[in-house]
């Protein structure tokens, strides 16, 4: 699969303490899983969840789904032990919560560097503190970074803002993270939609996230997966337009022109790059779903 095109449409949190949900995820058509040891796990359950997750990761069975482990922050009483427990399973990626600055990522990167098992492990950062949003540019460029995840619940708490359908109070934070991720060439995945039985509300928020440029949405329940997969995939119309734009541009080029006209609109090289990226994404989704 073309790594730049790897889909992150649906990224499902699974509480590391819930064996039934850990099993269920093996059957769900999600692009990625976040095995959570942080906020989905109560303090009394942390130690058991850590052991269960270490064993679950070692057993595998999650197929082509990308796997991220959200540990507790390294300055909590659980963070270091979480990392110790999951390291042996060679985790694809660690998701670090409540990242305030690039030094938080560097501290984790140093620990990953020190172990042979985590030589390839990437880092994702939860963007959910005001400090973190203000430092998004340097966080996104820190070592081993693969993506940002918006933590809109913690962010709303810190901002002291309300939840609105248009998400106006946190729009600047969402866009700051997107700018930082795109400038660094990494992924950016939107926050969760808490009302997991409200399919229409979820669809609206996914559409908004996609229009902003998000790669996908973090999810909390299996019922949310199909909506996110549909909203963040290229539509048939987009695939068709991309093919026609490429064909029109190549035809224009063959005639010595640098610009084509399609459906009354200009097509330049930059539009062709977007069209090729759309086709690569559609192909990557097809490959993932056929595995």
Ligand X SMILES: CC(C)(COP(=O)(O)OP(=O)(O)OC[C@H]1O[C@@H](n2cnc3c(N)ncnc32)[C@H](O)[C@@H]1OP(=O)(O)O)[C@@H](O)C(=O)NCCC(=O)NCCSC(=O)C[C@H](O)C(=O)O
- Those residues whose C-beta lies under 8 Å from the C-beta of residue 120, and which sit 6 or more positions away, are 90, 92
Q: Which is nearer to ligand X, 164 or 257 (CB)?
A: 164
Residue the block writes with tokens 């973090």 = 218
Burial grade of 108 (CB within 10 A; 0-12, 13-18, 19 or more)? buried
HSE-CB for 285 with a 13 A CA cutoff: 24
Q: Which is nearer to ligand X, 198 or 238 (CB)?
A: 198
What does the alpha-carbon distance between residue 198 and residue 181 come to, in Å, rounded to a whole number?
Answer: 29
Give the footprint of ligand X on residues 108-137 (CB under 6 A): 126, 128
Q: Which residues are annotated as a binding site for substrate?
A: 70, 128
Select from 52, 95, 148, 192 the one that contacts ligand X (CB under 6 A).
Answer: 192
CA-derived radius of gyration, the chain: 20
Q: Which residues pair with 32 in a beta bridge?
A: 11, 66
Q: Which does 12 bind (CB under 5 to 8 A by kind): ligand X, Mg ion, none?
A: ligand X
Select from 8, 10, 14, 282 the one that contacts ligand X (CB under 6 A).
Answer: 14
Select from 67, 76, 138, 153 the one that contacts ligand X (CB under 6 A).
Answer: 153
190 binds Mg ion (CB under 5 A): no
> Segment near Mg ion (CB under 5 A), from 47-55, 147-155, 185-193, 279-287?
147-155
Do β-strands 122-127 and 145-150 pair in parallel, antiparallel, or remain unpaired?
parallel
132 binds Mg ion (CB under 5 A): no
What does the alpha-carbon distance between residue 86 and residue 45 come to, in Å, rounded to a whole number?
Answer: 16
Q: Which is nearer to ligand X, 80 or 158 (CB)?
A: 158
What does the alpha-carbon distance between residue 261 and residue 257 come to, in Å, rounded to a whole number?
Answer: 11
Select from 40, 127, 228, 241 the one that contacts ligand X (CB under 6 A).
Answer: 40
36 binds ligand X (CB under 6 A): yes
Q: Tell the smallest beta-carbon distance from residue 218 to Mg ion (Å).
A: 10
Q: Which is nearer to ligand X, 205 or 241 (CB)?
A: 205
In terms of Cα–Cα distance, which of 171, 172, 111 is closest to 144? 111
Q: What residues make contact with ligand X under the rule CB under 6 A?
A: 12-15, 20-21, 24-25, 36, 39-40, 126, 128, 151-154, 191-192, 196, 220-222
Applying CB under 5 A, which residues contact Mg ion?
A: 128, 151, 154
């Amino acid at each position: 699969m073309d790594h730049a095109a790897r889909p992150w449409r649906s990224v499902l949190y699974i509480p590391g303490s819930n064996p039934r949900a850990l099993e269920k995820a093996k059957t769900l058509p999600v692009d990625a899983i976040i095995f959570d040891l942080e906020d989905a796990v109560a303090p009394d359950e942390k130690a058991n969840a850590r052991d269960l997750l270490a064993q679950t990761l070692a057993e595998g069975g999650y197929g082509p789904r990308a796997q991220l482990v959200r540990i507790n922050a390294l300055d909590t009483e659980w963070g270091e032990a979480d990392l110790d427990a999951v390291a042996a399973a060679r985790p694809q990626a660690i998701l670090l919560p409540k990242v305030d600055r690039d030094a938080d990522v560097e501290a984790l990167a140093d620990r990953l560097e020190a172990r042979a098992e985590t030589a390839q492990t990437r880092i994702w950062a939860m963007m959910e503190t005001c400090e973190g949003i203000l430092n998004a540019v340097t966080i996104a460029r820190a070592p081993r970074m693969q993506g940002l995840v918006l933590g809109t619940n913690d962010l709303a708490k810190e901002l002291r803002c309300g939840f609105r359908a248009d998400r106006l109070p946190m729009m600047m934070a969402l866009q700051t993270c997107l700018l930082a991720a795109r400038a660094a060439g990494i992924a950016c995945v939107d926050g969760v939609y808490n009302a997991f039985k409200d399919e229409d509300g979820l669809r609206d928020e996914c559409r908004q996230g996609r229009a902003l440029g998000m790669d996908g949405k973090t999810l909390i329940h299996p019922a949310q997966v199909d909506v996110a997969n549909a909203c963040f995939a290229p539509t048939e119309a987009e695939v068709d337009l991309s093919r026609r734009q490429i064909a029109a541009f190549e035809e224009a080029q063959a005639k010595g022109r640098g610009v084509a006209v399609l459906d009354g609109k200009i097509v330049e090289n930059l539009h062709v790059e977007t069209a090729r990226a759309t086709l690569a994404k559609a192909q990557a989704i097809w490959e993932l779903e056929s595995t």
